[in-house]
Each structure stands twice: as structure tokens, then as C-alpha cells.
């Protein structure tokens, strides 16, 4: 059954890859808010969750990317469905984007220990570009004189298989191709388009002892016209309270991750990325802060999931 599910996810990825990037924002602590990249994750924790995540990238560089997101997801009673809402604020240089997405999922039992969730995302984003911010080297360049303000719809989909120890998912957060700049700005102008992103994620939890768990995980992102992105991480959970780990992003950065379960409901997370590419000469790293509140039911599982 697990092999069949893997083949299903692989076929889903290949089908999506036939559709043609301005790239989406990327979080080091994506494993604590997987719904941002896969709508099928919504409701799979079987309790309500509010998650806040902020990222300051390439600190020290003027106009560097800055992203904040707040999300809420919950199961819908005992219907086998999940609901999630995600609000994202993203800014880089003169560009400012606000996105609101509604995620739904339908969860079925796929094996004795595993479930499979099918997800759909509907939403939209507003993009504003103000060329008056920053320095323009060529004032005669007509492509840099007209400000931009436009609404872009979003449709995404995903599949997510999980047990208490394993997860595997494939998704595309947005199937619609959007043009940010086109020839209407200036005769013969360049075209900058956002293309589909394809994500494949997976992870497994090993019980090393009664009070120590180890979770290796990976995330692969494929975008037409951009280099392949691969994240590999390893996290340790001590006494179900403290998380310590590291992550490596191919040809980009290495990261340290810290987590702390402050109360039964409240979790805190911090990540620091050290750039390994040539960009390291111009910035002092990337910082992320995560705050997560869990609304547990009165009867909770004895062995809570590590993802």
C-alpha cells in the first residue's frame, strides 16, 4: 500500500510538471507550517492550530526579502475534512505582496496506520511595485517608471500521506501562471512571469529512546527557469519539549534550528541560516521566528506527532 501511494504521488508530480518563476517565499521552518506549501496538510493534526512565522532574509542588505505569515487550520468535526486559512505578507525591494488563501482537505484511511489527504487551495494576492523606492540607475528605462498594482488569483492542489511516524506529500501551491511585467509597460519590454512551483516533502520519526526522537526530513522545490532547490534537515526532540536540529539547502545555506514547548499548548521555534553562496559577502544571515498555539482536545494522544 505504501508503495502504491508513493507511485500515486510521483505520477501526480509528473503530471503537474508538464505545466509551465518569480519564486514563492521559502521558510526554513516549513515543517511547522506545511500548509503554506501543501493545502492537503490542513486538518491532519486533528486539532486546531494557530501559527505565526516571520522571516528576515539576508539581513544587512537594503531591500532584502521579508516575509510574515499567520495561519489557522482545523479538522471539520468528524467529516474527514479539514479547513485552513493562510495570510502572507511578503516584501522585497520595491515589491510588496499580500496573499490570502483558503485551504480545504479530504482525508481518508489508506492503510491500517496511514491516512491520505487530498487538498485544494483557492485564494488571491495583491502585488504592488513602487519604482520610486530605491535607486534607479537608468532613469530613461521606461520599464522602471510605471508603478504596478494588480490582483492575481491562486489555485493550488496537493496530496499528503501520513502516519504517526511518516509523511510524504506532493503539491503545487499555484497552478495559474501570472505575468508581473509585460510588453505593455514599454515597447519591446521584458516579460517576468510567475510559473508553477512543485514541492515534494517527506520525513520519518525514529524513536531512539523513550525521551529522544530523531526526525530526518527533506523538501524539494522545482520551478521552471530556476535552479532546483533541495532542503535536508535533521531534528532531535528531547523529552517532548526541546527541539534541536540543523538543515542544509543545496548551494544556498546551512541552518540551525531550535524549538521549545513552553506550555502544553504553546510552541516556539527559531532558525538561523548562514549563506554559503557568494551572497555571504554581503549579508549577515537569515533569521526566522515561529510561534504556534495548539488547541488540544481533552483526550490527546499519548505519543504526539513530531510534524
56, 159, 151, 60: which is closest to 99 by C-alpha? 151
Cell representation of residue 66? 521579508
105 forms bridges with which residues in the sheet? 82, 119
CA angle 23, 128, 197 (to 5 degrees): 15
196-250, pLDDT tens digit by residue?
789 999 999 999 999 999 999 999 998 877 778 899 999 999 998 999 999 999 8
148-189, pLDDT tens digit by residue?
888 989 999 999 999 999 999 999 988 887 665 554 444 444
Query: 0.85 exceeded by the pTM?
Result: no
44 falls in which pLDDT band (50, 70, 90)?
Answer: very high
* CATH class of the domain comprising 2-295: mainly beta
Query: What's the pLDDT score for residue 144?
Result: 55
Query: What's the pLDDT score for residue 17?
Result: 39
Cell representation of residue 273? 541560516
Query: What's the pLDDT score for residue 279?
Result: 67
Contact 253, 244 (CB under 8 A): no
Side-chain-facing half-sphere of 2: CA atoms under 13 Å: 8
Q: Where are the beta strands (DSSP E) in 57-182?
A: 66-75, 81-92, 95-109, 115-129, 148-162, 166-172, 178-181
- Top-confidence residue, 84 or 26: 84
* Domain extent listing, the chain: 2-295
Cell representation of residue 266? 504553546
58-109, pLDDT tens digit by residue?
787 777 889 999 999 999 988 899 999 999 999 888 888 999 999 999 999 9
- Top-confidence residue, 10 or 30: 30
CB within 8 Å of 117: residues ≥ 6 apart: 40, 41, 43, 44, 82, 105, 106, 107, 108, 159, 160, 161, 162
Contact 233, 257 (CB under 8 A): yes
Q: Chain-wide mean pLDDT for the chain?
A: 82
Amino acid at each position: 500500500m505504501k508503495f502504491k501511494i508513493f507511485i500515486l504521488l510521483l505520477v501526480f508530480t509528473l503530471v503537474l510538471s508538464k505545466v509551465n518563476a518569480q519564486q514563492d517565499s521559502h521558510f526554513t521552518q516549513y515543517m511547522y507550517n506545511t500548509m503554506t506549501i501543501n493545502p492537503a496538510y490542513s486538518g491532519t493534526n486533528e486539532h486546531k492550530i494557530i501559527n505565526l512565522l516571520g522571516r528576515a532574509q539576508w539581513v544587512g542588505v537594503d531591500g532584502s526579502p521579508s516575509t510574515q505569515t499567520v495561519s489557522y487550520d482545523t479538522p471539520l468535526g468528524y467529516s474527514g475534512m479539514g479547513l485552513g486559512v493562510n495570510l502572507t505578507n511578503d516584501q522585497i525591494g520595491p515589491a510588496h505582496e499580500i496573499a490570502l488563501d483558503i485551504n480545504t482537505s479530504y482525508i481518508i484511511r489508506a492503510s491500517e496506520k496511514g491516512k491520505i489527504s487530498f487538498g485544494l487551495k483557492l485564494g488571491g494576492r495583491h502585488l504592488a511595485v513602487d519604482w520610486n523606492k530605491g535607486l534607479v540607475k537608468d532613469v530613461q528605462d521606461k520599464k522602471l517608471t510605471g508603478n504596478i498594482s494588480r490582483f492575481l488569483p491562486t489555485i493550488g492542489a496537493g496530496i499528503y500521506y501520513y502516519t504517526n511516524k511518516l509523511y510524504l506529500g506532493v503539491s503545487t501551491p499555484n497552478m495559474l501562471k501570472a505575468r508581473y511585467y509585460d510588453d505593455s509597460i514599454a515597447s519591446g519590454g521584458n516579460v517576468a512571469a510567475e510559473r508553477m512551483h512543485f514541492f515534494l516533502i517527506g520525513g520519518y520519526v525514529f524513536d531512539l529512546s523513550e525521551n529522544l526522537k530523531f526526525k530526518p526530513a527533506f523538501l524539494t522545490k522545482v520551478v521552471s527557469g530556476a535552479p532546483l532547490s533541495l532542503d535536508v534537515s535533521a531534528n532531535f526532540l528531547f523529552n517532548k519539549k526541546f527541539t534541536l536540529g540543523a538543515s542544509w539547502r543545496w548551494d544556498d545555506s546551512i541552518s540551525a534550528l531550535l524549538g521549545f514547548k513552553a506550555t502544553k499548548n504553546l510552541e516556539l521555534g527559531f532558525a538561523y541560516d548562514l549563506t554559503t553562496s557568494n551572497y555571504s559577502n554581503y549579508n549577515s544571515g537569515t533569521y526566522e521566528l515561529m510561534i504556534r498555539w495548539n488547541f488540544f482536545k481533552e483526550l490527546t494522544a499519548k505519543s504526539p506527532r513530531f510534524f
